[in-house]
Amino acid sequence: MNEREQLDATDAQAALQRCFAQIRLARATELAQSRRFREAEAVLIHDGKLPENPRDLDLLARIAAQQGQFEKAKHRWKTAQHAGSNVAAYASAIRSLEQAQTAAAVRRKIAVISLAAIAIATLVSFSVTFWPRDKVTPPKPPIRRLQPSAPPQQTSQPPPVSVRGQIPGSVPNPEKR
């Protein structure tokens, strides 16, 4: 083989490698869009080593971000920044990721504060409802007892009788008439 044939073979092999890399990236993209993230990662990562191609690293970073693995995504975008020419796009992706992380942290804090407020309100409500009233309410005033009055006096005299033979205050008997 002469020098020209070796150069042609090397060029052909490099072109074939680029073609296979594009096919791998297309397949991994298709898998990622179908939310088959592990399979997509398996297409791009060989022997546990990250690829050197910035486009592959970008896709792996996007997959990590979709799964909520923000630190892994950030690391992969930084690696893509150092390896590639599209530095501004990767820097923008990192800024967006950091903003999303900040927003997520704020939402978590708001959720925790809301839950704490609900718990406190519930405790206050239950304590007001079920707290023993003896300690909270003022004592009742003492009951005033009435002094017994003198019993009615009984007399030995017969009740007074009216002229007609009726006792004053009684109902007249119609049968006697």
Q: Is residue 166 part of a domain?
A: no
Q: Is residue 83 part of a domain?
A: yes
Q: Is residue 101 part of a domain?
A: yes
46 forms beta bridges with 49
- Is the full-model pTM beyond 0.85? no
SS3 call for 16 = helix
- Count structural domains, the chain: 1
Q: What is the pLDDT of residues 38-77, one digit of tens each?
A: 999 999 998 888 888 889 999 999 999 989 899 999 999 9
User: At 45, phi and psi to the nearest 5?
Assistant: -100, 125
Give residue 166's pLDDT: 59
> By residue range, what is the domain housing residue 104?
12-130
Least trusted range by pLDDT, from 7-11, 56-60, 61-65, 122-126:
7-11
Are the C-beta atoms of 29 and 59 separated by less than 8 Å? yes
Q: Is residue 87 part of a domain?
A: yes
Q: Is residue 49 part of a domain?
A: yes
Tell me the CATH number at 91: 1.25.40.10
Q: Is residue 168 part of a domain?
A: no
Q: Is the confidence at residue 136, as pLDDT, over 60?
A: no
Q: Is residue 62 part of a domain?
A: yes
Is 54 buried (19+), middle (13-18) or exposed (0-12) by CB count in 10 A? Answer: buried
Are the C-beta atoms of 100 and 66 separated by less than 8 Å? no
Cα distances (angstroms) measured from residue 29 to each of 47, 58, 62: 20, 11, 10
How many separate helices (H) and strands (E) can be counted in the chain?
5, 0
Give residue 87's pLDDT: 83
> Which tokens is 25 given?
């990236």
